[in-house]
Structure 1
Amino acid sequence: MPTPLNVEQVEAESAFAVVSGAPDDVAKSLGTATRRIGGGVALSMRDDPTNFWTKALGFTEPLTEDVIAEVCDFYREQGVSRAVLQLAPSVLPVEWDEIRAKQGITAGTTWVKLAHGGGPVPAVDTSLRVDAVDAEHAEEWSAVRLTGFGMPLDGFRELFVATLAHPGVTAYGAWDGDRLVAGASLFTHCGAAEFAGASTLPEHRDRGAQSALLARRIADATAAGRTVLSAEAVKPAEGERNPSLENMRRLGFEVLYDRVNWVWTP
């Protein structure tokens, strides 16, 4: 039996599935490329207006100067204007400051990496109905997720729909009556599960959609025998809040560490 992926690896494989699974026309229009480097993955989307998908992640061993150089060379080859290196603190080499100065890498925002041990979760109070999303609602689900994230629909709607063809991806939605108002996905692979984001239409927020989607996915991942449950959230600035992070903590996710988004520019 394969060893379960850890939280960094399953997040990386989830993102890799999205970018590598882009339909040919979408891959061409967005300029996508992927490469496995040094135990992690490097994803590139040259024409991404969101600046979200061009990133390298999933590294689990201390990085060397050669691996960092290979990652940066990949992005130079792809002609991107920036890339994000999402690196757990444990993989940063002792000479990290010297390496990043040489490559043009600076500190950006910080995310919080979380994990859940599985099992029962607190009851969620919501009038919304949560269920898995079937193929009939795939385009609507994709549009809801993108709108909730503030991302454009053009090209990305097809990109998200295509992810549902991956055997490890399950889509979930929250309905207000007959209207789909929130969406999320769960990526499972090698004993692990990645909670790959959830978003709600602005006019339907503060009704428990995210918590309900979290609870359903925790229950399904646990029932499927997943032993590693991984999630991420933006770390709020001093004196500010991140309701998504608070929802995760309330439902049993525990903070593992803060992870800086290191920004590379050519």
Structure 2
Amino acid sequence: MKVPTDVGAMGVTQATALAESAEAEFMYAFETGAPPSARSALGMTAVRLGGGVVLAMGADPTGGYWNKALGFGVTEPVTDALVRAVLEVYRASGSAVAVLQLAPAALPEDWDDICGRHGIVGGTVWAKLLRSAGPEIRPTTTELRVGRIGPGDVDDWSRVYCAGFEMPEDPDLVAFFGSGTDEARGFHSFGAWSGDRLVAAANLHVSGTVAAFCGAATLPGERRRGAQSAFMAARLAEATRLGCEWMSAETWQEFDGHVNPSLHNMERAGFVQVYDRRNWVWREEHV
């Protein structure tokens, strides 16, 4: 099969496979790389199942954000039996809530019936975006110093992530975030400094020739200083240097006048929205 060189020339099947697989691989690498002590304290489980990944955190201090199942429908179809197996992982982990992140092209014809049987309901919508390596990288300016983080920056970097995403500074969660700086597992991590103070953090995960833009956060009091645009340019340059042909990203879709600056930053950097993906929410109280 000829690989297109531009997002516009890509079919739905290939766009879905690229975008879903990139996110699933970075999430699996992220969660399986956490220190054993953090994995135990947070009740973490990561399972490859049905062509996708099931990520569970039974003692998630955020209330369930890290319970995600994704990457399905690329190599195997989504079926009632697969959904049942996914939910058994969450029940076994003691998780009370989980999100199934399924691309619209992966939903089977009987999806409504499957949802009804398992108490799954539609939630928020995310935009999935792709960019080829071809377009020129748009230059950015910021007064902050932006660059790769070093071993001595990992703890500050992890705490900035927690604060930027409004997650608790739980010590095990901070240790978990720190595992996302391991270059041996495909991560390439960046920071932005105001003087000597780290005020923003961003990450990139590379798997083969695809790079996943896997999160960027700025401390609340340091926003609107150009960190996010600078991170976009720095990660695009790094992904290109590493030989990536495609870059993938996701963020929440705008709705009812709620503007998402991250979405616009991505589009200015050359990312193209390829589809919207709804979060399908399961809760244990369903019988």
Note if 1:204 corresponds to 2:222. Answer: yes
Cα distance in structure 1, aligned partners of 2:136 and 2:235: 11
Give the corresponding residue for 1:249.
267
Note if 1:260 corresponds to 2:278. Answer: yes
Deviation at residue 166 of structure 1 after TM alignment: 4.8
Give the corresponding residue for 2:68.
55
Cα distance in structure 1, aligned partners of 2:95 and 2:178: 25
Q: Residue 106 of structure 1: SS of its match in structure 2?
A: strand
Note if 1:133 corresponds to 2:145. Answer: no
Deviation at residue 17 of structure 1 after TM alignment: 1.4
Give the corresponding residue for 1:124.
140
* Residue identity matched to 2:50: G
Give the corresponding residue for 1:217.
235
Cα distance in structure 2, aligned partners of 1:54 and 1:236: 23
Give the corresponding residue for 2:167.
151
Give a deviation string over 1:192-249, Cα, whole Å, max 9, x none. 1110110001111001101100110011101211112110111122212001111111
Alignment of 1:34-183 (within 5 A): 34-50=46-62, 51-59=64-72, 60=74, 61-118=76-133, 119-154=135-170, 155-167=172-184, 168-183=186-201
1:17 touches 1:166 (CA, 8 Å); kept in 2? no
Deviation at residue 49 of structure 1 after TM alignment: 2.4
Equivalenced residues, count: 264
2:182 touches 2:188 (CA, 8 Å); kept in 1? no
Cα distance in structure 1, aligned partners of 2:269 and 2:86: 36
Cα distance in structure 1, aligned partners of 2:183 and 2:67: 20
2:24 touches 2:52 (CA, 8 Å); kept in 1? yes
2:55 touches 2:66 (CA, 8 Å); kept in 1? yes
User: Once superposed, which parts of structure 1, at least 4 consecutive aligned residues long, lie more than 4 Å away?
Assistant: none
2:19 touches 2:130 (CA, 8 Å); kept in 1? yes
Give the corresponding residue for 2:208.
190
* Residue identity matched to 1:120: E
Match of 1:10 among 17, 22, 38: 22
Cα distance in structure 2, aligned partners of 1:193 and 1:13: 10
Give the corresponding residue for 2:258.
240
Q: Residue 6 of structure 1: SS of its match in structure 2?
A: helix
Deviation at residue 265 of structure 1 after TM alignment: 1.4
* Residue identity matched to 2:56: S
TM-score, scaled to structure 2: 0.88
What percentage of aligned pairs have identical amino acids? 44
* Residue identity matched to 1:53: W
Deviation at residue 128 of structure 1 after TM alignment: 1.2
Cα distance in structure 1, aligned partners of 2:91 and 2:161: 31
Give a deviation string over 1:168-203, Cα, whole Å, max 9, x none. 011101111221110001000121111011000111
